[in-house]
């Protein structure tokens, strides 16, 4: 049955069919440039009319749906499963509300959910507040099912998908991916399979995003097996929406980690310049992947990622990561190393802590976290005459004149009781070392000796 909503949808889509064909024929890539400085959130949503990397002969399949019919979701999912294809589903909020079981099945099969507004209005005719309401109501419908679109949007009727105001409104909400399409099969018009396949043959380009429709009166579902077979016969393979918005070293690293099934989850942005030419970053649900020429691509996430971002990420004293987050050898914590000789270490007990420079080098020489110092429990801080970092088993002090030296145990307790670096002893000039009958540490203003028999700590002059 054709409803008024169907007619409105078809009329709106018909206005864009010619444009979609033109884009596909010319191979235009309208991934709108994203301006971002110093690893900042993008000011406008990135628009993908094709995949981020248009070179490989792969395409992405997507299906749109509004409220008026559910479509044959089980049949579509079976076809995609039989062919090993992960697709994108752009659903309106009212579709999600009316057909929750179908939406759950789509998500359970691993397909990408995309916010298609609440009730399918033309976005250029809306105010900023009205656009936010459309997106919020739709996303709330997904959330009630325990699902999310992770900030992905597809414009109804393709209206305003390149409009700066629409893109800015999306970005202001953290919706940084506007997932458009390369060509529409026009199955929603009820055309026969021959028309759909002819459009596939004429308009498919490497990296293309194919738009189909899920509605019960669309002929796309019936044509789907033939569409897949035709594309394969043309030498095309299939990628998924998650991978389609990544590229290059970051894309390969994301894939190697497990893509959307990894700790990173869904992409949240397009690839952006991290600081200058020769650098890049992409944000994901669970973290970020950074790339710099000669350093490669590495991820940060979780508490370490949050701390890194709080410090200024790649513009901080740490610079770019040179490792992924990695388990520590003792199995207790996690760490990332960074290009300027710094590290962030995390354990459940200590949180994420920064250690760098000469203090880090001293800690490393003493066995890292498996040495007697254990994990850092504080960041490096300024002290009288120099710098210091506190660890579970002691502290390391540094100055340009004295270098880096550790102080721990009973000697550290006595040292702190006498004022530490601000007391008459000043900065340490040696690590603790063995002497007859005990241990000793030397300082600029004297020494402290621990007696192995009595446990007493005595002070001496230089």
Q: Tens digit of pLDDT per residue, the chain (462 long)?
A: 333 334 333 333 333 333 333 333 333 334 434 444 578 999 999 999 999 998 899 999 999 999 989 999 999 999 999 999 999 999 999 999 999 999 999 999 999 999 999 999 999 999 999 999 999 999 999 999 999 999 999 999 999 999 999 999 999 999 999 999 999 999 999 999 999 999 999 999 999 999 999 999 999 999 999 999 999 999 999 999 999 999 999 999 999 999 999 999 999 999 999 998 899 999 999 999 999 999 999 999 999 999 999 999 999 999 999 999 999 999 999 999 999 999 999 999 999 999 999 999 999 999 999 999 999 999 999 999 999 999 999 999 999 999 999 999 999 999 999 999 999 999 999 999 999 999 999 999 999 999 999 999 999 988
Task: Give ranges for CATH 3.20.20.370 in the chain.
Answer: 4-244
Partners of residue 64 on adjacent β-strands:
90, 213
In the three-class reduction of DSSP (H, G, I as helix; E, B as strand; rest coil), residue 114 is classed as strand
> What does the buried/exposed string (b/e) look like for 387-422 if buried means 16 or more CB atoms within 10 Å of the residue's CB?
bbbbbebbbbbbbeebbbbbbbebbbebbeebebbe
26 contact partners, CB below 8 Å, separation of at least 6:
none
Task: Give the pLDDT score at 81.
Answer: 98
Q: What's the fold here for domain 4-244? A: TIM Barrel (3.20.20)
Q: What are the φ and ψ backbone dihedral angles of 58, each rounded to 5 degrees?
A: -130, 155
Q: What is the β-pairing status of strands 183-184 and 177-179?
A: unpaired
Task: Give the pLDDT score at 171.
Answer: 98
Which pTM does this prediction carry? 0.89
40 contact partners, CB below 8 Å, separation of at least 6:
none
In the three-class reduction of DSSP (H, G, I as helix; E, B as strand; rest coil), residue 423 is classed as coil
Find the helix or strand (DSSP H, E) in which 397 lies: strand 394-399
Backbone conformation region of residue 197, classed left if phi is above 0, alpha if psi is from -120 to 50, else beta: alpha
Task: Give the pLDDT score at 23.
Answer: 34
**Cα–Cα distances in angstroms (integers) from residue 45 to residues 4, 49, 79, 261, in the given order:** 32, 13, 32, 24
Task: Give the pLDDT score at 276.
Answer: 85
Q: What are the φ and ψ backbone dihedral angles of 107, each rounded to 5 degrees?
A: -65, -40
């Amino acid at each position: 049955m054709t409803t008024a909503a169907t007619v409105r949808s078809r009329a709106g889509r018909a206005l864009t069919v010619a444009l979609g064909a033109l884009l596909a024929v010319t191979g235009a890539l309208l991934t709108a440039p994203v301006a971002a400085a110093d690893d900042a959130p993008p000011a406008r949503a990135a628009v993908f009319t094709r995949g981020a990397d248009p070179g490989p002969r792969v395409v992405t399949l997507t299906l749109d749906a509004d409220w008026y019919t559910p479509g044959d979701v089980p049949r579509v999912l079976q076809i995609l499963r039989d062919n090993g294809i992960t697709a994108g589903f752009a659903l309106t909020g009212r579709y999600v509300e009316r057909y929750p079981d179908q939406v759950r099945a789509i998500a359970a099969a691993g397909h990408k959910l995309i916010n298609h507004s609440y009730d399918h209005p033309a976005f250029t005719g809306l105010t900023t507040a009205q656009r936010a309401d459309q997106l919020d109501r739709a996303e709330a419908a997904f959330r009630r099912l325990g699902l999310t679109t992770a900030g992905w949007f597809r414009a109804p009727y393709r209206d305003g998908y390149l409009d700066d105001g629409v893109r800015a409104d999306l970005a202001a909400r953290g919706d940084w991916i506007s997932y458009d399409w390369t060509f529409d099969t026009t199955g929603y018009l009820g055309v026969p399979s021959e028309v759909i396949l002819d459009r596939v043959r004429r308009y498919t380009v490497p990296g293309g995003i194919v738009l189909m429709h899920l509605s019960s009166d669309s002929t796309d579902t019936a044509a789907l097996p033939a569409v897949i077979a035709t594309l394969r016969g043309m030498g095309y393979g299939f990628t998924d929406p998650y991978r389609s918005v990544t590229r290059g070293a970051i894309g390969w690293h994301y894939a190697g980690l497990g893509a959307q099934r990894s700790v990173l989850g869904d992409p949240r942005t397009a690839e952006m310049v991290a600081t200058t030419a020769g650098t890049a970053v992409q944000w994901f649900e669970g973290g970020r992947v950074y790339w710099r020429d000669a350093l490669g691509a590495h991820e940060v996430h979780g508490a370490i990622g949050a701390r890194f971002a709080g410090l200024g990420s790649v513009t901080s004293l740490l610079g770019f990561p040179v490792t992924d987050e990695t388990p520590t050898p003792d199995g207790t914590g996690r760490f990332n190393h960074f290009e300027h000789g710094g590290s962030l270490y995390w354990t459940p007990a200590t949180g994420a802590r920064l250690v760098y420079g000469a203090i880090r080098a001293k800690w490393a020489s003493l066995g890292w976290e498996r040495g007697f110092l254990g994990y850092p429990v504080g960041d490096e801080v300024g002290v009288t005459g120099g710098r210091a970092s506190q660890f579970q088993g002691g502290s390391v002090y540094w100055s340009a004149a004295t270098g880096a030296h550790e102080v721990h145990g009973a000697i550290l307790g006595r040292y702190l009781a006498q004022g530490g670096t601000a007391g008459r002893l000043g900065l340490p000039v040696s690590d603790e070392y063995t002497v007859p009958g005990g241990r000793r540490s030397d300082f600029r203003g004297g020494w402290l000796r621990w007696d192995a028999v009595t446990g007493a700590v005595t002070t001496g002059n230089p």
